[in-house]
Chains A and B, each alone.
Chain A
């Protein structure tokens, strides 16, 4: 009889398990299908900007040099990224731009060549022929070797642009502009004001080692460092400060929170606070702090303290006080009471009991949790920085919002990832030592 009962029970169990094995993936699929519709994923395919992706990727790994002819004054200038701050001086004209009176010849890769001849711009495209664009002063005329306009040429009465693998030529009434692409990031170390930017690496090394002082007031090495630090384009000094601010926010927030949360955790732990009402009150406060999201604290605090790293640090501090309070009080509730009783038996005062009975037990746990959160908070500090306006998060959002400087966005992302990975390694190493407790650590 019992066998039959057991059999039915086991078979029922099997059936239930089999049902779940099919039902759970089915439910997940149904849910994903619902989200697929709710998020309008099919519409996304149309809204996606693949050209943006191309710009982003292209911009991140290369830069362009503009050769611009102002069609009103006939002046030709060469500028990196077409920026006024990066306009090259006349004697610095690169070798691929030849100027001869009113004629300017620009060599592009793969044998392409652009010639500015007064108001006429010629584009020699090997395998196609010569594209002739004339600025008549009232309109832009295009004459082609073939009868049809190919799709790499975009022409209207006021603007013609030729877009090839080798570069780009744009002619409007105001200006004629050719862009040539180069791999890498422009002026990463030295901007145009720096005496080093015309030198090759070998020349820089030579000038550092025994060259004459470029600036009588300082050595070449300190000049080089200050040139890099104050680079107008990349602003390495400001970026370094921003990284420092972000780490500072995480540091102050995490450790400040731990210092505030520890006494609160004692009040919230069952074995240290017999008074029920007090425990209850402290626990509800901690619950409340955890429930009010970091986002809300960040908003409220940035209203009061204005943008900056202190606001971010306070936002992290308050948020983490809630989570630390909970974690620490759980650790405290799990302590072994025997060492405490032993210390009490020697006549120790409460403070001594805590110091010698409790802290040695919970400190490794607490410190490893604090270090773990410190690492994760460097990431949060990037986000908090974007909201309150401070640190590398702010620089990153600004660079993304201008949708121009993708090379800077790439640079900041690399820096952020390196920062987080480095702090992760440091905190993992410290945690390892603390948990293993090789005697040298406390």
Chain B
């Protein structure tokens, strides 16, 4: 048997192989881009053909409604501060829905995540089950739960709060489970060695490590939940979304009221957005 020594490939071979590889990757990338572009175009055309109005004529009408609102708000500018003040109780309700949902949802999510994290779960066999529960809670859109609960409990803020809270618990459970996997196990082991119960290990060993992270996600979630709560109001759960819908359905003559609500909603979201990103920035830049 003879052994053929493997000759080291010359620079030419290497270059050829490299260029071939590059060409192939370019081809694949190009093809993927092409498929993507075709999907976008075909998708847009399908969407347009199934839409009541076309894109081009709709574009021409796009400014109509904002213009109608602005002109009516301008004509009755003196009413605007009054309308904004009138919208405040509804705004408080919307914020309350979001706050309760964030609070209960985050607490539920923390519990769910601790039960679902491998290594921390008191019942490791069920960790996967709790993970699935979180997945399903997260997958159900809020509107589904809200509409069913409105049928059962009557219109009001409670169905919206429950719906958003359930969704939040699922989303946070999943997110926190990922956070929990990256903790330092030493404090937990230390607590276990002195005979701490599961709840004590979690409360004293895990939560202090992850609290800044949890808090930062909860803030972000609060902002998301305010938007969700406004939207659910629009489909019948009360709050500022409901008032907005009423003002808009009435149409001409009440559009200044709609403008007032628009402004209040806009300002609220901008303030929340800025405040939460400021706090989160401080939290993530150390100094917890």
Contacts and interface: CB of A to CB of B under 8 A. Distances in A.
Query: What size tier do the contact residues of chain B reach?
Result: 35 or more
A309 B50 contact: yes
B66 interface: yes
B65 A305 contact: no
For the residues of B in contact with A, the DSSP-based class is helix
Given A52-B151, A300-B66, A304-B64, A386 B235 contact: yes
Contacts of B29: 442
Contact of B152 (A53, A287, A383): A53
A310 B153 contact: no
A47 B51 CA distance: 39
Nearest to B104: A32
A256 B141 CA distance: 23
B53 A396 contact: no
Interface residues of A, number: 64
B157 interface: yes
B116 interface: no
Given A248-B47, A251-B43, A421-B135, A308 B231 contact: no
| Most central of B142, B144, B157 by chain A CB within 10 Å | B144
Contact of B154 (A49, A311, A379, A390): A49
B235 A300 contact: no
A299 B230 CA distance: 13
A41 B157 CA distance: 10
B120 to A, nearest CB: 22
Contacts of A397: 143, 147, 235
B111 interface: no
Contacts of B279: none
Interface in B203-255: 227, 230-231, 234-235, 241, 244, 248
A293 interface: yes
B231 A383 contact: yes
B51 A413 contact: no
B100 A400 contact: no
A28 B218 CA distance: 14
A255 B40 contact: yes
A387 interface: yes
28 contacts: A39-B157, A39-B161, A44-B156, A48-B153, A56-B148, A255-B36, A292-B266, A295-B230, A299-B248, A300-B65, A300-B66, A304-B62, A305-B51, A305-B55, A306-B53, A380-B141, A382-B144, A383-B143, A387-B234, A387-B235, A390-B50, A393-B141, A393-B143, A396-B143, A400-B148, A416-B139, A417-B140, A421-B135
Interface of B: 25, 29, 36, 39-40, 43-44, 46-48, 50-53, 55, 58-59, 61-62, 64-66, 93, 96, 99-100, 103, 135-136, 139-144, 147-148, 151-154, 156-158, 161, 227, 230-231, 234-235, 241, 244, 248, 262, 265-266, 269-270, 273
